[in-house]
Amino acid sequence: MRIGLTYDLLGDYLALGYSKEQAAEFDAPETIAAIESTLNGMGHTTERIGHVHHLVTALAAGRRWDLVFNIAEGLYGFGREAQVPALLDAYGIPYVFSDPLVLSLALHKGMAKRVVRDAGLPTADFAVVSHLSDVAGVALPYPLFAKPVAEGTSKGVTPRSRIGSPDELAAVCAELLARYDQPVLVETYLPGREFTVGITGTGSAAEVLGVLEVSLNAGADAGFYSFHNKDHYESLVDYRLVQDAVAHRVAEHALAVWRVLGCRDGGRVDVRLDAQGQPNFLEVNPLAGLHPVRSDIVILAGQLGLSYATLIGRIVDSALRRLGPVPSLPPVWAPRGEAGHAAQQ
């Protein structure tokens, strides 16, 4: 197949003046190279497209692909991860990973938790603070935990995120609202073990790759997987493959969440135990990082003895099984101009 690659390069945004934190979710060149090399090794030809603006230009020029391997995160808004898939849907071009609805839902942690809770799956009690005045209506027992409602890579998670009083809650919410220009998710603090669960496949065909426990070493921000801990994971974080009875319950919970939210092909579900040892949904990442060394799902695959190529192969195979024969669509028509309707081939 001819496979297009859509992505956001970290260096491009740093060169434009964005901070390391603002660009933390974007990809390193070695990630794109690793994905491309793997797809080439599977016999496919690839074309590097880049971010959503490059995709717009390519589509307008008439370029098309049999499949797009999409890891573009976008920059603005709750729908930023959905922009590339929405464009591809409009042109009838199939792609790997989840659709616009799922990506928008998953990015907004409050909305995702509402769906998970409505399905009867455990998640910590929570409130969404959209304005500082909303803090007065938060009726949850302390300690609490606060973070931006729609960020990844633990952005906005610091030692101040664990909150012990109403005064702290007001101060932290004010800081997060101003810094990230989005609502704050406030939830009951879960004191138990934390896990990330790798999943491949879609719907009834989805399966758990494995369960990785996230343990913090001496010198780490204590009690949670903060931005600082994640950025310095080599020395501060210990990732351990676990296969005990607790891991089995965590895996079942994560797989149920994956299916309820409608996630596709591959990604991660983060789970933490409450005071009673019950697995609780934290968040889902349907566009999990695929750095060949640093990314959690790649680390998990490595501990299972799975190569990077095997992981990417499973993701692509899932997309192809899900898509089946792709129907031939009529041409997409341009607006009427002086020369009438012109088909974009």
pLDDT digits 0-9 by tens, 68-102 = 999 999 988 999 999 999 999 999 999 999 999 99
Residue 328 has pLDDT above 60, yes or no: no
Greater model confidence, 244 or 330: 244
Domain with CATH 3.40.50.20 in the chain: 2-103
Cβ-Cβ contacts under 8 Å for 69 (sequence gap 6 or more)? 3, 4, 5, 6, 35, 39, 46, 95, 96, 316
pLDDT tens per residue, range 40-75:
999 999 999 999 999 999 999 999 999 999 999 998
The rounded distance, in Å, linking the Cα atoms of 44 and 222 is: 45
Name the average pLDDT for the chain: 91
User: CATH number of the domain at 194-323, out of 3.30.930.10, 3.20.20.70, 3.40.50.2300, 3.30.470.20?
Assistant: 3.30.470.20
Strands (E), 8-152: 45-50, 67-70, 95-96, 126-129, 144-148
pTM of the model: 0.89
Question: For 14-28, 138-152, 251-265, which range has the lowest pLDDT when averaged over its residues?
Answer: 14-28
pLDDT value at residue 337: 42
User: How many Cα atoms within 13 Å fall on the side-chain side of residue 2?
Assistant: 7
Question: What's the pLDDT score for residue 325?
Answer: 67
Encode pLDDT of 128-179 as tens digits: 999 999 999 999 999 999 999 999 878 888 889 999 999 999 999 999 999 9
Burial label, 112 (beta-carbon count in 10 A; 0-12, 13-18, 19+): buried
At 162 the pLDDT is 95
CATH 3.30.470.20 domain residues, the chain: 194-323
Mean pLDDT of 187-199: 96
Classify domain 2-103 at the CATH topology level: Rossmann fold (3.40.50)
- Determine the average pLDDT of the residues in 326-345: 42
Contact status, residue 145 vs residue 163, Cβ threshold 8 Å: yes
Residue whose C-alpha is closest to residue 23's, from 44, 35, 9: 9
Average pLDDT over residues 176-184: 95
Specify the higher pLDDT residue, 77 or 339.
77
Residue 216 has what pLDDT?
79
Q: Does domain 125-188 have CATH number 3.30.1490.20?
A: yes
Within the chain, all domains assigned CATH 3.30.1490.20 are found at 125-188
The CA distance from 262 to 243, in Å, is: 26
The DSSP H or E segment spanning 260 is helix 245-261
- Residue 16 burial (10 A CB sphere; 0-12, 13-18, 19+): exposed
Mean predicted confidence (pLDDT) in 246-250: 97
Per-residue pLDDT at 332 exceeds 70: no
d(CA 187, CA 326): 43
CA nearest neighbour of 257 among 121, 60, 164, 88: 121
Residue 228: predicted pLDDT? 64
pLDDT for the residue numbered 338: 36
**pLDDT score recorded for residue 111:** 98
Point out the least confidently predicted range of 72-86, 117-131, 202-216, 320-334: 320-334
How many C-beta neighbours within 10 Å does residue 264 have?
25
pLDDT recorded at residue 172: 97
**Confidence at residue 339, expressed as pLDDT on a 0 to 100 scale:** 36
The candidate with the shortest Cα–Cα distance to 82, out of 90, 266, 12, is 90
The pLDDT value given to residue 25: 86
**pLDDT in the model for residue 284:** 97
Residue 41 three-state SS: helix
What is the H or E stretch that residue 279 is in? strand 279-285
Sign of CA dihedral 153, 321, 57, 39: positive
Stretch 175-184: mean pLDDT: 96
